[in-house]
Structure 1
Amino acid sequence: MPQRTASTAAHQPAGTPVPPRLRGYRYVGVIGKGSTAYVFRYRQEATERDVAIKVGTTHLDSKAGARFKTEAVFMAKLQHPNILTVHGAGVTDDGRPYTIFEYAPNGSVKDIIAKQGVYSVEKTLDYGVQLASALYLAHRSNTVHRDLKTSNILITAQGLPAIADFGIATNIYDHRSTGYSPPWAPPEVIASHGGGDDRSDIYSLAATLYAMLAGKSPFEYAYDPHTIDELVDCILHKPVPPINRADVPQSLQRVLLKALDPDPAHRYFTALEFARALQEVQIQLYGHATPVNVQGIEPYPTRAAMATAGAQGALPATPEAKPRNRKPLIITAIVVAVLVVFGVVFAQFILPNIDHSGDARTATVVNPGMNGSPGNDDGDDDDDAMTSVPAPIELSGKYVNNNTEVKFTWSNPDPQDGDRYAWSLVSNSGDGDQANAKLVDEPTATVPATDGGPTCIKVSILRQDRQLSSDAVTACAAK
């Protein structure tokens, strides 16, 4: 067993296990500890690069040892700027398993909240899109984290938020109960209805973003429980309240509350849908969005949404000449904004999707980009084409019930067992109503007819493994 050296002892807090001697690495200090491991800082001698090495606190049995090795295998496969990189793994001379990670010198989100206070709305949205992208990549690789929280989001040397500690990650279809942190865990995990899945990760990421804005996890912030039992009771039986910050817009509050819904079926279908909802809030607030960074996935939302934001952002500020002229100028600016936005949306979004029929009560809808084939020849790699979920085809709408409703139907170009369909109404701005998206088993949906304009919906295919169509199909019916 390695002996404690004088230099090592000088760096060791009382009660900390002896850091292992690892060939090619020089011990620097302690970074932190968890329930089953310590994390030490080492210097890789060949490169003079600092790394973080997670070392088990005890000799692990075969099952626990396999779990620790599984973490290294999963993490090494998940190559993403917002997932902490794994450099290697092994077993120490005294039988303790270890994993070598990228060193994140800027601490965790938890540390930053404690030292600097809550995050801005803009930074929270930026982090949210990046982390949801990383989470979607993990879920697409059949890996769930199961313990996302502020202490597991580290800030890299490049200033990027990165998901760390996939120590309880497991196959997405393995629903056995496993470890979790109550403040961040969804009700179904706390109630032992399963160990968690991708929708549980979405909940925990939303709770983490909530804490970035509120300073605490949702139920700690809202109800100030004094014990774990009180906290668990709140999570199981009380609603998540809005964040009491004047600068947190209602659009962001709605996105977080949907992701924190106690019923997993009412949350976002995938982490990608969560990322898209956060991007849409960014576009509404700032006219731009953080890109989704996943191979084979479009980095930004629909072009219609971006065009709408661009039109809004392109409007010059109205100069205020004299007090008596302020009201006419404001009215003029509003009229111009409405006309510009409607013109962009109508020309780029609604008009190309409408094919009027001779019958005033029906309208056939032509799907954008569809020529009778579900695929498109855009030069994507074969691997991406094999794994991507196609969009629905033959989407059309027909007015029914005395023109009070529109019945939409569509086809699945590649039906598979367990396929379902996610659809949402589309507003005049060209955006899908993410907060009220519906999930159906059959390729049809009947919606109330829109007064004074076309009725539009957006539809995606949802696979049994929770993958969603890369590009949703949007179409409209008009009288």
Structure 2
Amino acid sequence: MTARREASAPPDLPGYEYVRVLGLGGFADVFLYRQHLPRRDVAVKVLLAGSLDHDVRERFQTEANLMAQLSHHPSIVTIYHAAIAADGRPFLVMEYCSRVGLAERYRAERIPVPEVLRIGVRLASAVETAHRAGILHRDIKPANVLTTDFGWPALTDFGIAATTGPAVQTMGMSIPWSPPELLAEHPTGDERSDVYALAATIYSLLAGRTPFELPGGNNSAQQLVARIERSPLPAVGRDDVPPQLQAVLERAMAKHPSRRFSSAMAVARALQEVEAALRLPVTPLDLPDEAPAPSGLMPSDDEDATRLRGISLPGPLQVRGPDDEDATRARSVVVGRPTLVAPTAPAPAPVPAGVPDGPDGRRGGRVAAVVAGAVVVVAVAAVLVASLGGADPVPPRGVSDTFAPPQTGPAAAPVPAPHSLDGTRAADGAVTFTWQNPDPQDGDRYLWGVLTATGEPTLVLVDDERVTVPAEQATGEVCIEVSIVRADRSRSARPAQGCTS
């Protein structure tokens, strides 16, 4: 076992009194200081003297700026100040979260399901807030979730987060919570990669282990990667975890991003559904423009989708091992997704005069959500109708606009997606998919392609409602997407997607 290094010397910070070491990291140490004015305990993250090259300084500065941009959120650690100490080391002054963090808890205790659900909803709200700001966290895991004095989870460590724009960044995701697309030869990812890591963190809180860890088995980095890429998600293994919650985790951690929840908010809504089914109080979403979700109703993909500005990360990928978080391997990564504007949700009901804030100060004030909940029943019927109508699968990204509908003349009727998409595997391993056209017209053709976890499908035009994926391309689960293409070159706004094992 590798011995832990000694902490670096705490810097002399005017206006602060050093107390003790809080934690050691690969690039920085964290100390507890007591600020003199205003008087309070703070966590000070100090860059190591041997890590002062340009790239690390830039990463440190990025973390300060991103956390400052997001730290108004009740489940994201607040940053108070950033500067350079007299010895030349940059430092961040942050909120001190005094309680035991999730990394220490999930292996040491059986965390109750209601608490895990509350943590999950609050973390999902934090991740959704970051995504709406165009930021991917990229390293969501129990070790990066602290606990405040009032018991709230607080997401931290945005040092490897991705921002919009052309900046080159270093990426380092911890293997046990990483999605398959970030472990591929040519990694790609978007907010659904954070959705996977969020769900993997929730899984760990329930199971007391990482998702693909085999107790007593071979849990090397190579074996974990193989299981993450190919093995189905194991059951949590607790009698008190309802099947509905296991199903939420399985969807959020699907191998292919297109089969996951399309946003962190959708994960939060699904966890609220589980709370409602268990007759627990529904944890409110910590989003300034969101009304409470109707209890007992699952949002459609159209309702829960939140699209962000494209994110480009042409930098090396560092993948951390399960035990040694400094162990890395370099890869390039490009992250991107098109921009769509999320619909504005109705404002929450106003808080009546004289009603006090919650007991947790910055993390209080949930009365508005409770008052707004009084109107939920009125909306149930309308939402139920919309939910039962179903939603087409998430559209592919990066597809050429060769078959885009004409932009002139009166608006044409939307082109529907195929339905009854089904696959059958032959004895030789090949998979044949068939589908039906709900509104056949003269000249209709079909645009289809095989979905992969590591890139966009190569689309091919065919005349028949049948295609075959050859055996050499049909190992494991096979997923395809299909769109109808009209004679005027307009096509389905949302392709049908289907998979077979």
- Comparing 168-177 and 208-217, the one that deviates more: 168-177
CA 253–209 in structure 1, closer or farther in 2 if over 3 Å, else same: same
Contact residue 160 and residue 169 of structure 2 kept, 8 A: no
In the alignment, which residue of structure 1 is the partner of 2:26?
Answer: 35
Matched residue type, 1:49 = R
Write the mapping of 1:75-474 to structure 2, written as runs, cut at 5 A: 75-78=67-70, 79-115=72-108, 117-172=109-164, 178-194=171-187, 196-221=189-214, 224-286=217-279, 288-298=281-291, 300-302=292-294, 305=297, 388-389=342-343, 432=387, 438-440=393-395, 444=416
CA 430–222 in structure 1, closer or farther in 2 if over 3 Å, else same: farther
Alignment pair present for 1:26 and 2:23: no
SS, match of residue 171 in structure 1: coil
Question: How many pairs were matched up?
Answer: 321
SS, match of residue 212 in structure 2: helix
Of 46, 52, 62 in structure 2, the residue corresponding to residue 55 of structure 1 is 46
CA 179–118 in structure 1, closer or farther in 2 if over 3 Å, else same: same
Q: Distance in 2 between matches of 1:211 and 1:130?
A: 16
Contact residue 75 and residue 153 of structure 2 kept, 8 A: yes
1:222 is displaced (CA, Å) by 7.1
1:217 is displaced (CA, Å) by 1.1
Residue by residue over 1:236-295, the C-alpha shift from the partner in whole angstroms, topping out at 9 and shown as x without a partner, is 222211211111111000000111111111111111111111111111111531011101
Residue by residue over 1:372-405, the C-alpha shift from the partner in whole angstroms, topping out at 9 and shown as x without a partner, is xxxxxxxxxxxxxx964269xxxxxxxxxxxxxx
Residue by residue over 1:149-202, the C-alpha shift from the partner in whole angstroms, topping out at 9 and shown as x without a partner, is 111111001110010111111215679661111111111111143364311111
The two structures have a TM-score, normalised by structure 2, of 0.59
In the alignment, which residue of structure 2 is the partner of 1:470?
Answer: none
Q: Distance in 1 between matches of 2:390 and 2:30?
A: 40
Structure number with the bigger relative contact order (C-alpha 8 A, sep ≥ 6) is 2
Residue by residue over 1:219-241, the C-alpha shift from the partner in whole angstroms, topping out at 9 and shown as x without a partner, is 11578433212212221222211
Q: Distance in 2 between matches of 1:190 and 1:223?
A: 24
SS, match of residue 118 in structure 2: helix
Q: Which runs of 5+ in 1 are unaligned?
A: 1-12, 307-385, 392-425, 449-479
Matched residue type, 1:217 = T
Contact residue 19 and residue 31 of structure 2 kept, 8 A: yes
CA 158–288 in structure 1, closer or farther in 2 if over 3 Å, else same: closer
Residue by residue over 1:407-433, the C-alpha shift from the partner in whole angstroms, topping out at 9 and shown as x without a partner, is xxxxxxxxxxxxxxxxxxx99976948
- Give me the identity figure in percent: 39
Q: Distance in 2 between matches of 1:53 and 1:119?
A: 29
The two structures have a TM-score, normalised by structure 1, of 0.62
SS, match of residue 82 in structure 2: strand
In the alignment, which residue of structure 1 is the partner of 2:317?
Answer: none
Q: Which has the higher helix share?
A: 1
CA 89–241 in structure 1, closer or farther in 2 if over 3 Å, else same: same
Matched residue type, 1:389 = P
Alignment RMSD, CA only?
3.0
SS, match of residue 53 in structure 1: strand
CA 443–36 in structure 1, closer or farther in 2 if over 3 Å, else same: farther
Residue by residue over 1:439-461, the C-alpha shift from the partner in whole angstroms, topping out at 9 and shown as x without a partner, is 2476745768xxxxxxxxxxxxx
SS, match of residue 28 in structure 1: strand
CA 135–428 in structure 1, closer or farther in 2 if over 3 Å, else same: closer
1:16 is displaced (CA, Å) by 1.6
Contact residue 259 and residue 274 of structure 1 kept, 8 A: yes
1:303 is displaced (CA, Å) by 6.6
1:209 is displaced (CA, Å) by 0.3
Q: Distance in 2 between matches of 1:427 and 1:222?
A: 47
Q: Distance in 1 between matches of 2:54 and 2:419?
A: 55
Matched residue type, 2:199 = A
Matched residue type, 1:266 = R
Matched residue type, 2:12 = R
